[in-house]
Amino acid sequence: MATHITEECINCGACEPECPNEAISEGDDTYVINPDLCTECVGFHDYEACQAVCPVECCLPDPERRESEDELIARARKLHPDKAEVHKPHFPSRFSKDKHDKHHHDKHK
Ligand code: SF4
Ligand code: SF4
């Protein structure tokens, strides 16, 4: 899923400089994310950087745009052909964190 910004946004601007893909900009009513640029931070972080700094936590996965990790890393690689870190076989991803969390969770059931 690409991330989207909900109407809870208070237009503080904190998220914009945090995006590794420059996907965030000021919109008419709230800040907005260009879904063609958002990789859910796959390739860069194991969390969504915008959501991590958002004071109202309104940068959420867009249920209308469900995308696999493969699609997201492919997007990151296309957007950053010269950035070695996203072309490595092992890259930061919220999906691996989810797997880890699930494992962790299962272990402690
Ligand atoms: Fe940018 Fe990451 Fe937020 Fe997507 S999830 S808009 S890539 S900071
Ligand atoms: Fe809106 Fe959150 Fe971004 Fe601030 S950090 S502009 S509240 S989405």
Q: What is the DSSP string of 29-47?
A: SSEEE-TTT--TTTTT-SS
* Residue 107 confidence (pLDDT) above 80: no
The mean per-residue pLDDT over the stretch 75-86 comes to 97
**CA 27–ligand 2 middle distance (angstroms):** 11
Query: How many domains does one find in the chain?
Result: 1
> 47: domain CATH number?
3.30.70.20
**CA 60–ligand 1 middle distance (angstroms):** 10
31, 78 Cβ separation under 8 angstroms: no
Over residues 6-24, the pLDDT tens digits come to 999 999 999 999 999 999 9
Smallest CA-to-CA distance from 20 within 100, 84, 79, 63 is with 79
pTM of the model: 0.88
5, 55 Cβ separation under 8 angstroms: no
Which domain, by its residues, includes 96? 3-107
The Cα 1–Cα 82 span in angstroms is 24
